[in-house]
Chains A and B, each alone.
Chain A
Amino acid sequence: MHDKISTLEDARRVAIELGLLEEEFDTIVSILDGRIPTYTELGIFSVMWSEHCSYKNSISVIKTLPRKGGRLLVEAGEENAGLMDIGDGLAVAFKIESHNHPSAVEPYQGAATGVGGILRDIFTMGARPIAALDSLRFGELDSDDANTGRTKYLVRGVVHGIGDYGNSFGVPTVAGEVYFDSCYQGNPLVNAMAVGIVEHGKTVSASASGVGNVVMIVGSRTGRDGIHGASLLASAVFSEAAESLRPTVQVGDPFAEKLLLEATLEAIAAGVVVGMQDMGAAGISCSTSEMSFKAGTGMKIDLDKVPLREASMSAYEIMLSESQERMLVVVKPEDVKAIQAIFTKWDLQAAIIGEVTDTGRVVIDYHGERVADIPAKGLALGGDMTPVYHRATKEPAYLKEVHSFVLSKLPDDDDPAGTLKELLGSPNIASKKWVFEQYDSMVRTNSMYLTGSDAAVVRIKSTTKGLAMKTDCNSRYVYLDPYRGGAIAVAETARNIACTGATPLGVTNCLNFGNPYDPEVYYQFKEAVRGMGDACNAFDTPVTGGNVSFYNESPDGAIYPTPTIGMIGLIEDISKVVSSDFKKESDAIILLSVGESNDKFDGLGGSEYLFQQAGVVAGHAPECDLDKQAALVKALVELADRRLLNSAHDVSEGGIAVALAECCFAQGTEKQLGAKVHFPLVANGANRVDTTLFAERQGVVVLSADRSNVDEISLIARSFGLDAHVIGEVTGDRLIVRDLIDESIAELYSIYTSTIPALLGEGEPVE
C-alpha cells in the first residue's frame, strides 16, 4: 500500500472507510495545515479519535463525576489509573476496563487480553498488581433459545481466557460477578479490574519529558494482531458479520507479561525510567502522542527500529498494531545500557526507536519516508484539537410502560419454600463456583480466604491492613430508573465493602451502554452517571478513573445500561475482617436496615423474583436514600471495628430469604449452620409474603453476633438512625422462616451449587 494519497477527495474516502466522520476529516486537514493526510496519518487519527480512545461522546458527561477528595493522590485521567493513599507510605492503584467486543468475537483471547491490558495499566505506573476482579454478563443460559449454545461457548471461552492469563501471570483473581440476561445475548460484557500497590514517590508518569531523551519500545515484538481493535471493533455497533473482525482481536502471552512486569518494576526501582506508558488500544499511535502531549514535548520515531514479528509490515500496520505486552519508555541517554541490561535479563526486547523533541509533534519515519507528522495535541485525549461532542437526550419511551406495572395484579406467593429453591437455582443467584474455581484466587498468599463474603479482602504484607474490593451493578435497576440504578450500583458496592468492615475509599467505573447517537441511550448514560456521581459524593468515594464502552448493541437492540462499579475499601486491622457466613450455634441473627420507605413496589421492582414469577423486568428500582445508605455503611464499619459482629451479609438479589440461605451455607458442606427466624410481614405494603421474603430493598443487612453484643449493636444502630432487630438465632441444620419456609440446608446448598455446572453441560465431581 502506498502511503501517499494523491488527492484530498481520495483521502476523504479513506477517512470515511476508517470510521471517521466528514466533519472530522475537515478538522484533520486543518490540523495538518491543509496538507493531504497520508494513509498512515488517517489510520492514526481514526484510532485516536475513535470513541474508545477519545471519549469524544462521553467526556463532557464523565467530567461531572466527583474526582477530588478523600485519599486521592492522582486524579482520574491524569495517569493510566487512579491512585489513593492507604497510609504506611503506600498507595493503591486500581482501574476497571471493558473488553466487550473482542470477547464477543473471540472469547478466549478477548477476555485474556482484557485482563492483560488492565494489569499493564497498573504496573506501568510502578505499582505491583495484587488482585484482579472480573464482572461478566452473558445471555441467558437456561432459555430454550437456539443461541444458548453460543452463550455457553462464550462463558467457557471467557472464563478460560481470564483464568489462563491471570493464573499464569500470577495475580489472584479474587472477586467479581456473573449475570445472565437476554439483553447481553449478542453483546456480552467482559469488564476486568486490577488493583496494585506502590510506595509513595515510586510511581512513574506516562509522560515524555526531557528533550533529547531516548524513546524505547520494550517487551514483545510488534505484529499484525489487533489492528483497528480500538476503532472498528470497540467503537462501532457490530453485527453478525463481526466474525470477520476476529483479526482485530489481540493475542495474549501471559508469560511475556509476567516478564514485562518484573523487568518494568526492576527498571523503575533502579531509577532509570523517565516516563512510561503501556501499549493497549491504538498501540504506538496512542503511547507516542499521549506521552508527548502530557509533557508538552514531541517525538521523532523511526519505525525501522521497531522489533517486528513480520518484516513486511507497513507503517500503517506498525502504528495501529495492538500487539500485547509492550511498553513505550522514555529514558535518559546515559541510562539506555542499564535498561537494556534489565530487559535482557528477563529475555525481553528493549529497542531504541526515537527521541523526545521540543516540536510538540509526533513525527514518524519509515523506510526513509516521512509517514506522519501530527501535532500531539491533535491526537491525545484532552488536546484542544480533538473532537468533543454533546449529544442529545430523550427520555426513553419504554420507561412509561415498565413503570405502569401494577404489583397488586400479581398474586402473592403461595409456595415460598418452592420459590426460594427456584431463586437459589436461578443462574443469576446460584453459586458461581464453577467460574471462580478456574481462577487462581490465592497466589501471592494475601487473599484472605473467606468462603463466601460480600467483598474480597487482600491483606497487605508487612502492615496490619487489608484492602476490600468488589464490582457490582444490577443493570435491571438502571434500565428501570437510570438515575437511581446508577446510585444503587455505587451504594450496593459500598455496602458490600462495608460488610467486611472496610471503609470505602474510591471508585473506578466501566460504563457499558448502547449507541451514543441514540438519544434514548444517551439519556440512560447521562442519568446513570448523575446517579453515580451523587452516590459517590454521599460515600465520599471519588472516581479515580475507568472507561466508557458505547455501542454495546446487537441486532436485537441495546444492552441494559450497565455502569459497572469497582470499589476499593481499606480496613486498618485485618484481624477485624467480617465474613458473610454464620459462625456458631445460638448466635443472634439481627436485621440491620435503613428502615421503612415509601417504595410502592416494596422492593420488588426489577427483582429476580418478579422476573422469575412474572417474567418481567418492571416497576421502579428500589428506593435508595443516599444519606441513610451512607449512615449504614458507617455503622457497619463501626460495628466491625468494635468486634461486635460474627457475620454480615448484604441483602440483594433474591431478598432476605436468599440472603439468609447464603449465610447458612457460605462455609460449603463442611460446617453448615441453620437458622430459625421470625419477622413481621412488611407493614407498609399489602402484607404480602413475597415482598417480605424476596424484595430487594436497598439497605438491609443480615448480621449475626454473640447474644451479649446485641444491646450494644442496637445502640450503635440507633445512633446512626438505623433499625436493628433480633429476628432469630443460628441453630440446627435447617432454614426455618416463620411458618413459611422449613428446608434442610444441605438440600438448599445442593440446588445452589448444581445449577451452573449442570447448565454448562459438565457434571462436576461432588465434593
Chain B
Amino acid sequence: MHAVKNVLGQPDTEFVWHKEESIGKDVDLVILPGGFSYGDYLRTGAIARFSPVMKDVIRFAKDGGTVLGICNGFQVLCESELLPGVLIRNESLKFACKEVYLKVERDNTRFTSELERGEVIRIPIAHGEGNYIADADVLADLEANDQVVFRYSTAHGEVVREANPNGSLNNIAGIINKEGNVMGLMPHPERACEHILGSADGLKIFESLREYFTVTETVA
C-alpha cells in the first residue's frame, strides 16, 4: 500500500475487504499482497482462495484485468488456478527472510517493461513456503511459453543451485500466465522501493505497471 500509494504516487490505491463480493468499479490493477491469510495453518492460500472477494478477482483476471500476487498473494493465485503450479515448504523447512538476487527473464510484460532482460535485481524474500513445484508437463509448458519472469540467481546473474533460497524448480521466483495479465512472485518488490530501506529495485515493477496504464489510458 505504502509503496504504490506514497512512493509510486497513486493516491487512488485502496484496500478491498476480503468479505466484499466485489472489487469495485474502474479498477486497473488488483494486488494480492503478502501476509498469512487465515494464519496459513492449512496449505498456504488454500482458504483465502475461497474468500468472497476472490470470485470477483478471478472474474476480473479472466476478463483480462491485471493481477499481481506477491508472496502469499502468489500462493493464493496458484490455489485459485489463475497461475499453474504450487508453492510448498522451503527445502530447508525453515522460514527465510533475506535479500536475494533475481535474474529478469522477461522485459516484455506489463509488469517488467522498466527492467531489462538479463538484468539482476536485489529484492528481499520472506517466506516459509516459497518452493515452487509443478508437474513435469506444466513446467515444460511454462518454459516453452516463456512464462518464467524471474529466477533466483547470483549477483552476477548465474542461475545456480547455490542462489536458490527455497528449492524452487528451475530457480523459479515469479511466473506469468499465458495471457500476460496475471503475475505472481515470492520475493517482495514492495519492500525494495526505497533506497533508505536497502534497495529500490522493486519499484521498477510498479513503475512498469504505471507506465502500462498511462499508455493504455492515453491510447483510449
Q: Nearest chain B CB to A118's CB is how many angstroms away?
A: 19
Other-chain residue from A168, A450, A575 in contact with B39 (beta carbon distance below 8 A): A168
Other-chain residue from B2, B19, B38, B96 in contact with A445 (beta carbon distance below 8 A): B2
In whole angstroms, how far apart are the Cα atoms of A436 and B94 in the complex?
A: 11
Q: Does B99 contact A258, Cβ atoms closer than 8 Å?
A: no
Chain B residues whose CB sits within 8 angstroms of the CB of A170 once the complex forms? 35-36
Interface flags, A257-273, vs B, CB<8A=1, else 0:
01000000000000000
Interface flags, A414-447, vs B, CB<8A=1, else 0:
0000000000000000000000111111110111
Q: Does A534 count as interface, using CB distance less than 8 angstroms? A: no
Q: Does A442 contact B197, Cβ atoms closer than 8 Å?
A: yes
Q: Does B97 contact A447, Cβ atoms closer than 8 Å?
A: no
Q: Does B95 contact A163, Cβ atoms closer than 8 Å?
A: yes
Seen from chain A, the residues whose Cβ lies within 8 Å of a Cβ on chain B are 160, 163-164, 167-168, 170, 253-256, 258, 345, 436-443, 445-451, 459, 461, 574-575, 670, 762, 764-767
Secondary structure class of chain A's binding surface, majority of residues:
loop
Q: Bin the interface of chain B by size.
A: 35 or more
In whole angstroms, how far apart are the Cα atoms of A511 and B91 in the complex?
A: 39
Interface flags, B186-219, vs A, CB<8A=1, else 0:
0010110110111100000000000000000000
Q: Does A449 contact B99, Cβ atoms closer than 8 Å?
A: yes
Q: A438-B94, A440-B97, A459-B196 are in contact. Are A445 and B191 (CB under 8 A)?
A: yes
Q: A442-B124, A762-B92, A765-B161 are in contact. Are A167 and B36 (CB under 8 A)?
A: yes
| 14 extra A-B contacts, CB within 8 A, seeds A254-B39, A443-B126, A765-B161 | A167-B36, A167-B95, A168-B39, A253-B39, A255-B41, A438-B96, A442-B124, A442-B188, A448-B196, A448-B197, A459-B196, A459-B197, A574-B196, A766-B162
Q: Does B164 count as interface, using CB distance less than 8 angstroms? A: yes
Q: Does B197 contact A449, Cβ atoms closer than 8 Å?
A: yes
Q: Nearest chain B CB to A761's CB is how many angstroms away?
A: 12
Interface flags, B131-170, vs A, CB<8A=1, else 0:
0000000000000000000000001000001111100000
Chain B residues whose CB sits within 8 angstroms of the CB of A446 once the complex forms? 197
Chain B residues whose CB sits within 8 angstroms of the CB of A762 once the complex forms? 92
Q: Nearest chain A CB to B139's CB is how many angstroms away?
A: 21
Q: Does B197 contact A447, Cβ atoms closer than 8 Å?
A: yes
Residue from A256, A438, A461, A575 whose CB has the most chain B CB atoms within 10 Å = A438
Q: Does B126 contact A440, Cβ atoms closer than 8 Å?
A: yes
Q: Does B73 count as interface, using CB distance less than 8 angstroms? A: no
In whole angstroms, how far apart are the Cα atoms of A164 and B39 in the complex?
A: 10
Other-chain residue from A438, A450, A766 in contact with B97 (beta carbon distance below 8 A): A438
Find residues 6-34 in chain B having any chain A CB closer than 8 Å to their own CB. 6, 19, 34
Q: Nearest chain A CB to B98's CB is how many angstroms away?
A: 5
Q: Nearest chain A CB to B119's CB is how many angstroms away?
A: 17
Chain A residues whose CB sits within 8 angstroms of the CB of B126 once the complex forms? 167, 440, 442-443
Other-chain residue from A160, A258, A449, A575 in contact with B36 (beta carbon distance below 8 A): A258
Q: Does B3 count as interface, using CB distance less than 8 angstroms? A: yes
Chain A residues whose CB sits within 8 angstroms of the CB of B98 once the complex forms? 437
Other-chain residue from A254, A436, A765 in contact with B165 (beta carbon distance below 8 A): A765
Q: Does B97 contact A255, Cβ atoms closer than 8 Å?
A: no
In whole angstroms, how far apart are the Cα atoms of A397 and B140 in the complex?
A: 73
Q: A167-B36, A445-B2, A445-B190 are in contact. Are A764 and B95 (CB under 8 A)?
A: no
In whole angstroms, how far apart are the Cα atoms of A253 and B40 in the complex?
A: 11
Residue from A445, A451, A762 whose CB has the most chain B CB atoms within 10 Å = A445
Chain A residues whose CB sits within 8 angstroms of the CB of B130 once the complex forms? none
Q: A167-B126, A254-B39, A445-B191 are in contact. Are A764 and B92 (CB under 8 A)?
A: yes
Q: Does B84 count as interface, using CB distance less than 8 angstroms? A: no
Secondary structure class of chain B's binding surface, majority of residues:
mixed
Residue of B nearest to A167 (CB): B95
Other-chain residue from A345, A439, A450, A765 in contact with B162 (beta carbon distance below 8 A): A765
Residue from B19, B96, B196, B198 whose CB has the most chain A CB atoms within 10 Å = B196
Chain B residues whose CB sits within 8 angstroms of the CB of A164 once the complex forms? 95
Interface flags, B87-123, vs A, CB<8A=1, else 0:
0000010111111000000000000000000000000
Q: Does B174 count as interface, using CB distance less than 8 angstroms? A: no
In whole angstroms, how far apart are the Cα atoms of A167 and B97 in the complex?
A: 10
Residue of A nearest to B19 (CB): A345
Q: Does B128 contact A167, Cβ atoms closer than 8 Å?
A: yes
List, sorted by A's number, 24 A–B pairs whose CB atoms are closer than 8 Å: A163-B94, A163-B95, A170-B35, A170-B36, A255-B38, A255-B40, A255-B41, A436-B97, A437-B94, A438-B96, A438-B97, A439-B95, A440-B97, A442-B124, A442-B197, A443-B34, A445-B2, A445-B191, A449-B198, A449-B199, A450-B198, A459-B196, A461-B6, A764-B92
Q: Nearest chain A CB to B126's CB is how many angstroms away?
A: 5
Q: Does B196 contact A445, Cβ atoms closer than 8 Å?
A: no
Q: Does A168 contact B40, Cβ atoms closer than 8 Å?
A: yes
Residue from B36, B38, B40 whose CB has the most chain A CB atoms within 10 Å = B36
Chain A residues whose CB sits within 8 angstroms of the CB of B124 once the complex forms? 442, 449
In whole angstroms, how far apart are the Cα atoms of A14 and B2 in the complex?
A: 57
In whole angstroms, how far apart are the Cα atoms of A574 and B197 in the complex?
A: 11
In whole angstroms, how far apart are the Cα atoms of A440 and B40 in the complex?
A: 15
Chain B residues whose CB sits within 8 angstroms of the CB of A254 once the complex forms? 36, 39
Q: Does B196 contact A575, Cβ atoms closer than 8 Å?
A: yes
Q: Nearest chain B CB to A659's CB is how many angstroms away?
A: 23
Other-chain residue from B97, B161, B197 in contact with A439 (beta carbon distance below 8 A): B97
Other-chain residue from B2, B92, B162, B196 in contact with A767 (beta carbon distance below 8 A): B162
In whole angstroms, how far apart are the Cα atoms of A765 and B171 in the complex?
A: 14
Chain B residues whose CB sits within 8 angstroms of the CB of A441 once the complex forms? 97
Q: Does A445 contact B36, Cβ atoms closer than 8 Å?
A: no
Residue of B nearest to A764 (CB): B92
Q: Nearest chain B CB to A466's CB is how many angstroms away?
A: 9
Residue of B nearest to A461 (CB): B2
Q: Does A442 contact B196, Cβ atoms closer than 8 Å?
A: no
Chain A residues whose CB sits within 8 angstroms of the CB of B165 once the complex forms? 765
Chain B residues whose CB sits within 8 angstroms of the CB of A437 once the complex forms? 94, 96-98
Chain A residues whose CB sits within 8 angstroms of the CB of B198 once the complex forms? 448-451
In whole angstroms, how far apart are the Cα atoms of A132 and B96 in the complex?
A: 17
Chain B residues whose CB sits within 8 angstroms of the CB of A670 once the complex forms? 155
Residue of A nearest to B197 (CB): A449
Q: Nearest chain B CB to A754's CB is how many angstroms away?
A: 14
Chain A residues whose CB sits within 8 angstroms of the CB of B95 once the complex forms? 163-164, 167, 438-440
Q: Nearest chain A CB to B159's CB is how many angstroms away?
A: 14
Residue from A253, A255, A764, A766 whose CB has the most chain B CB atoms within 10 Å = A255
Residue of A nearest to B38 (CB): A255
Q: Nearest chain B CB to A669's CB is how many angstroms away?
A: 9
Chain B residues whose CB sits within 8 angstroms of the CB of A459 once the complex forms? 196-197
Chain B residues whose CB sits within 8 angstroms of the CB of A442 once the complex forms? 97, 124, 126, 188, 191, 197
In whole angstroms, how far apart are the Cα atoms of A345 and B161 in the complex?
A: 45
Chain A residues whose CB sits within 8 angstroms of the CB of B92 once the complex forms? 762, 764-765
In whole angstroms, how far apart are the Cα atoms of A762 and B90 in the complex?
A: 14
Residue of B nearest to A441 (CB): B97
Q: A164-B95, A167-B95 are in contact. Are A255 and B191 (CB under 8 A)?
A: no
Chain B residues whose CB sits within 8 angstroms of the CB of A160 once the complex forms? 94
Q: Nearest chain B CB to A746's CB is how many angstroms away?
A: 15
In whole angstroms, how far apart are the Cα atoms of A575 and B188 in the complex?
A: 23
Residue of A nearest to B122 (CB): A670
Residue of A nearest to B6 (CB): A461
- In the A-B complex, the 7 residue pairs with the smallest Cβ-Cβ separation, listed nearest first, are A255-B39, A449-B198, A168-B36, A440-B126, A440-B97, A438-B95, A163-B95
Chain B residues whose CB sits within 8 angstroms of the CB of A445 once the complex forms? 2-3, 190-191, 193-194, 197
In whole angstroms, how far apart are the Cα atoms of A445 and B99 in the complex?
A: 13
In whole angstroms, how far apart are the Cα atoms of A447 and B2 in the complex?
A: 14
In whole angstroms, how far apart are the Cα atoms of A103 and B98 in the complex?
A: 26
In whole angstroms, how far apart are the Cα atoms of A439 and B97 in the complex?
A: 6
Q: Nearest chain B CB to A463's CB is how many angstroms away?
A: 13
Residue of B nearest to A763 (CB): B92
Q: Nearest chain B CB to A434's CB is how many angstroms away?
A: 9
Other-chain residue from B36, B96, B155, B162 in contact with A255 (beta carbon distance below 8 A): B36
Chain B residues whose CB sits within 8 angstroms of the CB of A167 once the complex forms? 36, 95, 97, 126, 128
Residue of B nearest to A439 (CB): B97
Q: Nearest chain B CB to A337's CB is how many angstroms away?
A: 19
